[in-house]
Amino acid sequence: MRHLRRIAIEEAFWLDSLSTQQLADGATASPYKAQYRSKWARRLVDFTEYRIPEMDAHGIDLQILSLATPGVQMQPDTDVAIDDARRANDALAAIVKEHTPRFAGLAALPLQSPEAAARELRRAVTELGLHGALVNDHTLGHYLDERRFDVVWAELQDLGVPLYLHPTNVLPAPWPLLDGRPELDGPTFTFTVATAGHALRLIYGGVFERFPDTTVILGHMGEFLPFWFARLDAAHQRLDPQEHLTKLPSQYFTDNFVITTSGVTSHAALQAAIQTVGIDNILFAVDYPFESTAEAVAFLDTAPLADADRKKIASRNAERLLRLTGFSA
């Protein structure tokens, strides 16, 4: 069978040289087994020993790299965050250049200073050749619907690049629901509901009224928001929103969001997502190194899809969204 070109769009890396590393070390307590934490730690900082061989073994042509959670979002020192984001983006651009055509990248943004984040976004795209940005949920408890971040949205719209809204492993405040139940923290529960809530803040905060040509990427089958459309729209019609909205929540979602398959290898979920958001708004992802590349590829290859639709999810939607040129092997 002719090779199916696969682009994986939510693939993490880390740099131990970042000043934020010390804070990240303190934020990684988790209920996961030591063998997995050790595996993830080795692979996050690697590009050639584990990563490319695994891509080759399973037919991943291109990984879109982004700084792993919590990124620079939890850094309380604005100057340090600005410096770390710049260093991370410079390093990412160098990695992409060294290993072209295997990697492309999304920039880290120091949102502690929205003006600096907007400048760094423009530099990352126009000078470094990155293809958008990834933000790990909130920044020190601040969310992207706040008007202070309009300068960043304006830059995203002007550059025509997407923002990937990714979960973080740092909650902005203690959540009593988790007391005595650490199993709920992370991809089991908190990642999804926190990130989905952030996405809904963007809608209800009027971000897409002010910046209608921006695009947000949500992983993990859209953090399951596509399966919530009926309830969201029904509730919305009884609301009196603080911001003037001209559409139903589901309409903003289908106009301004795309989703990825990262970490959700369910054909039933994929079929439902296609029905709600459309085949052109779904992109393949593995969520390396946290999820299995083999399982993600098998899921895509065996999905009950027409060949043309499989190609869209596998690579063509990503090529269009990220304007990927010059990345064919």
Domains annotated on the chain, with CATH: 7-322 (3.20.20.140)
Integer Cα distance of 11 and 33 in angstroms: 21
| Cβ pair 249, 276 in contact under 8 A | no
Integer Cα distance of 33 and 36 in angstroms: 6
Integer Cα distance of 198 and 10 in angstroms: 18
pTM of the model: 0.95
Q: Is 287 noted as a catalytic residue in this protein?
A: yes
- The catalytically annotated residue of 61, 137, 145, 287 is 287
Please give the chain's pLDDT, 329 residues, in tens.
Answer: 468 999 999 999 999 989 886 665 545 456 788 888 899 999 999 999 999 999 999 999 999 999 999 999 999 999 999 999 999 999 999 999 999 999 999 999 999 999 999 999 999 999 999 999 999 999 999 999 999 999 999 999 999 999 999 999 888 999 999 999 999 999 999 999 999 999 999 999 999 999 999 999 999 999 999 999 999 999 999 999 888 899 999 999 999 999 999 999 999 999 999 999 999 999 999 999 999 999 999 999 999 999 999 999 999 999 999 999 766 54
Integer Cα distance of 135 and 165 in angstroms: 5
DSSP SS3 for 292 = coil
Residue 76 has φ and ψ, to the nearest 5°, of -75, -20
Residue 106 has φ and ψ, to the nearest 5°, of -115, 140
